[in-house]
């Protein structure tokens, strides 16, 4: 978990104007717009991409994000665990080749790999130790020291197991989304299947009005997550400003019609 430092000045100004022009309570506007922002945060959290590149026109997360997440998992696992091509090799023969310094073909060239993983449980243990605590992506090591040789069937089983986890990081926003009644399009089944992961939403009354804080307490965020969060806020600020312009134009048109009728 970390605390992001984002600028909400433009957003606060836009919400205040929206409350005034729509003649709605400011607290109601803040709650409604925060619900939309949570949808944007879900869409910009991995496997969603930054800058809304995996976001629908209506601000939800595109189904292509799930495919990107699955592809990233397959790529990481395939890189970390090269497989022996000769299915006739016994476990003992594979270990003997490792002990003799045999160089195995990998996605990063031929490497002398020092470990053999003969079960899904072993792959899971090695994968966990090779993952970056900050980003969740794997590190093979400068000379491939985190890598392990395995069999294709075992690796495929492990990949199937791991791709079911796509959407867990997004699910850290679910508690806030459900409390704020974020649009369902922002919480597809591949995210909600994980249930509410650690995260929260807090409402506070201040002298300036309602303040809402949302949090996602999971790990494995990308390095640019703070920038992504700012992008989510900026996107909603632009959306409110656009809605305000349309509202004022409608008001002006109605006023003109009334003048013409006189």
Asked whether 223 and 133 are in contact (CB, 8 A), the reply is no
Per-residue pLDDT at 1 exceeds 60: no
| Residue 99 vs residues 84, 113, 141, 142, 183: alpha-carbon distances, Å | 15, 9, 19, 20, 57
173-215 pLDDT, tens per residue? Answer: 999 999 999 999 999 999 999 999 999 999 999 887 899 999 9
Q: What are the counts of helices (DSSP H) followed by strands (DSSP E) for the chain? A: 9, 4
Asked whether 38 and 186 are in contact (CB, 8 A), the reply is yes
| Residue 165 vs residues 15, 49, 87, 125: alpha-carbon distances, Å | 36, 17, 29, 16
Asked whether 107 and 136 are in contact (CB, 8 A), the reply is no
Q: What pLDDT does 195 receive? A: 96
Asked whether 231 and 9 are in contact (CB, 8 A), the reply is no
Q: What pLDDT does 220 receive? A: 85
Q: What pLDDT does 227 receive? A: 94
Asked whether 109 and 79 are in contact (CB, 8 A), the reply is no
Sequence-separated (6 or more) residues with CB below 8 Å from residue 241: 14
Torsion of CA 234, 38, 226, 11, to 10 degrees: 30
Asked whether 78 and 107 are in contact (CB, 8 A), the reply is yes
The model's pTM: 0.89
Q: What pLDDT does 2 receive? A: 59
61-109 pLDDT, tens per residue? Answer: 998 999 999 999 999 999 999 998 777 888 899 999 989 888 888 878 8
If one counts every other C-beta atom within 10 angstroms of the C-beta of residue 235, the result is: 18
Strands 199-206 and 209-216: antiparallel
If one counts every other C-beta atom within 10 angstroms of the C-beta of residue 221, the result is: 21
- Bridge partners of 83? 150
**Region 100-125: what's the mean pLDDT?**
89
2-47 pLDDT, tens per residue? Answer: 577 899 999 999 999 999 999 999 999 999 999 999 999 999 999 9
The dihedrals phi and psi of 233, each to the nearest 5 degrees, come to -65, -45
Quickly tell me which residue has 């717009």 as its tokens. 33
């Amino acid at each position: 978990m970390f605390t992001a430092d984002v600028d909400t000045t433009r957003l606060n100004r836009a919400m205040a104007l929206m409350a005034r022009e729509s003649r709605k309570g400011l607290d109601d506007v803040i709650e409604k717009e925060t619900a939309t922002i949570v949808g944007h945060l879900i869409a910009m959290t991995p496997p969603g991409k930054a800058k809304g590149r995996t976001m629908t026109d209506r601000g939800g997360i595109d189904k292509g994000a799930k495919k990107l997440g699955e592809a990233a998992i397959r790529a990481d696992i395939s890189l970390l665990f090269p497989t022996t091509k000769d299915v006739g090799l016994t476990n003992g023969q594979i270990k003997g080749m490792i002990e003799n310094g045999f160089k195995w073909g990998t996605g990063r060239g031929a490497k002398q790999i020092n470990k053999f993983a003969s079960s899904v449980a072993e792959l899971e243990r090695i994968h966990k130790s090779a993952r970056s605590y900050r980003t969740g992506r794997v590190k093979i090591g400068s000379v491939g020291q985190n890598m392990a040789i395995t069999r294709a069937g075992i690796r495929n089983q492990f990949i199937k197991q791991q791709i079911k986890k796509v959407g867990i990081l997004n699910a850290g926003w679910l508690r806030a989304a459900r409390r704020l009644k974020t649009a369902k399009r922002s919480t597809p089944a591949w995210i909600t299947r994980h249930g509410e992961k650690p995260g929260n939403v807090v409402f506070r009354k201040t002298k300036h009005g309602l303040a809402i804080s949302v949090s996602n307490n999971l790990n494995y965020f990308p390095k640019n997550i703070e920038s992504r969060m700012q992008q989510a806020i900026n996107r909603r600020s632009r959306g409110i400003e656009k809605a305000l312009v349309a509202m004022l134009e409608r008001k002006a048109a109605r006023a003109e019609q009334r003048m013409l009728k006189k």
